[in-house]
Amino acid sequence: MKVNIIVPCYNEEAVLTMFYEETAKVINSVQGYDFEFMFVNDGSKDRTLDIMKELAEKDERVKYISFSRNFGKESAMYAGLKNSKGDYVLIMDADLQHPPALIPQMISVMEEGYDCCATNRATRDNDSKLRQFFTNKFYGFVNKISDVDMPNGAGDFRMMSQKMVRAVVALSEVQRFSKGIFSWVGFDTKWISFEDVERAAGETKWSFWSLFKYAVQGITAFSTAPLKIATFIGSLISGVSFMYLLGIIIHTLAFGKDAPGYASLMAVMLFMGGMILLSIGIVGEYIAKMYIEVKRRPIYIIGKTNIEDPEDDYGDNK
């Protein structure tokens, strides 16, 4: 049996060697499985790729894919999944926030016959209070409006069968939201939880703004509810306006002309203008997504790799 360990890395020179050593310790103690590291260098600007090459020279289980630029963690995971042919495939962060000590337990879950062993963080103590607040709000909202279930605290740290990996890879959208994709493809999943740990070294790559964009991405990728909400509010306002219009007509017929009303007129106009722009914005958000998707651009571009026969490459990878 073969297990691939996919590790997306962006500027992880501070922690990559430590990650490799810690993980190697664990997998060396697991009997009956061949492991392979699949490091994905996501356009790092530091020595991350050099470290990968050094590791590959020392240990033939180390494979790497290096992108031509930074494509984002979603693309890095996709490239890793697409190029992983093992029976089980594991995705892990490079910063040791995903404890390698869980690997034996995950393997035994897979042996029980599950297609996926997923993890969630029991606490989020190492995130800022503000980030925790918005994360909770986000998951509450997403789970209410979308078709798929995305448990709060669920990360990308999970082990999947090759069958499930093929299904995930078959969802080839360019704007990827893996948490939703994993849940959308289905299969028997067992959840285990682990204690939140701090990043071993280096810095988080997420700014508040990038998390916000990620949240919008998560909502629009798995739900068209915002469009329906816009339609609903639009019809509600139209209904109320129509009643009001009838009222004005009757009032005018009965009591004649009536000049005042500047304030109410302004209020209604501004409110309506705002609602119209908001709705157009929501529609635009989906059109923009369609625009990106219909271009069918590749999700990642390989610059260098030591894989024999990589998927979607353009040759001359050494």
- Choose from Mg ion, ligand UDP, none: what does 38 bind? Cβ within 5-8 Å by kind: none
> How far is 40 from 133, CA to CA, in rounded Å?
31
66 or 230, CB closer to ligand UDP?
66
Identity at 138, one-letter amino acid code: F
10 lines the binding site for ligand UDP (CB under 6 A): yes
> How far is 76 from 86, CA to CA, in rounded Å?
17
Beta strands in the chain (DSSP E): 2-9, 34-41, 62-67, 88-91, 116-121, 154-161, 189-194, 302-305
Among 77, 86, 81, 7, smallest CA distance to 39 is for 7
- Choose from Mg ion, ligand UDP, none: what does 73 bind? Cβ within 5-8 Å by kind: ligand UDP
The backbone region for 72, taken as left when phi is positive above 0, alpha when psi lies in -120 to 50, beta otherwise, is left
- Choose from ligand UDP, Mg ion, none: what does 12 bind? Cβ within 5-8 Å by kind: ligand UDP
**Shortest distance (Å) from residue 224 CB to ligand UDP:** 27
> How far is 8 from 205, CA to CA, in rounded Å?
12
Binding residue for ligand UDP (CB under 6 A) from 95, 194, 222, 226?
95
> How far is 14 from 46, CA to CA, in rounded Å?
9
Binding residue for ligand UDP (CB under 6 A) from 3, 6, 9, 27?
9
Q: By CB under 5 A, which span of 16-24, 119-127, 197-205, 235-243 interacts with Mg ion?
A: 197-205
Binding residue for ligand UDP (CB under 6 A) from 8, 180, 218, 226?
8
Question: 229 in helix, strand or coil?
Answer: helix
Q: Which residues of 223-251 are buried (b: 16+ CB within 10 A; e: fewer)?
A: bebbeeebeeeeeeeeeeeeeeeeeeeee
12 lines the binding site for Mg ion (CB under 5 A): no
Q: By CB under 6 A, which span of 29-37, 65-73, 230-238, 259-267 interacts with ligand UDP?
A: 65-73
In this structure, are residues 160 and 168 in contact, taking their beta carbons and an 8 Å threshold?
yes
- Choose from Mg ion, ligand UDP, none: what does 9 bind? Cβ within 5-8 Å by kind: ligand UDP
Q: Give the total residue count for the chain.
A: 318
Q: According to CB under 6 A, which residues from 154 to 213 bind ligand UDP?
A: 199, 204-206
63 lines the binding site for ligand UDP (CB under 6 A): no
Binding residue for ligand UDP (CB under 6 A) from 55, 94, 118, 165?
94
In this structure, are residues 307 and 63 in contact, taking their beta carbons and an 8 Å threshold?
yes
H or E stretch including 251?
Answer: helix 225-255
Q: According to CB under 5 A, which residues from 236 to 295 bind Mg ion?
A: none
Binding residue for ligand UDP (CB under 6 A) from 53, 63, 73, 121?
73
Q: According to CB under 5 A, which residues from 91 to 130 bind Mg ion?
A: 93, 95, 97
Q: By CB under 6 A, which span of 23-31, 72-80, 217-225, 267-275 interacts with ligand UDP?
A: 72-80
48 or 306, CB closer to ligand UDP?
48
- The residues with which 120 forms a beta bridge, in sequence order, are 154, 193
97 lines the binding site for ligand UDP (CB under 6 A): yes
> How far is 270 from 46, CA to CA, in rounded Å?
51
- The residues with which 168 forms a beta bridge, in sequence order, are none
- Binding residues for ligand UDP, total number by CB under 6 A: 17
- Choose from ligand UDP, Mg ion, none: what does 36 bind? Cβ within 5-8 Å by kind: none
**Residues making contact with ligand UDP (CB under 6 A):** 8-10, 12, 42, 70, 72-73, 76, 93-95, 97, 199, 204-206
- List residues binding Mg ion (CB under 5 A): 93, 95, 97, 199
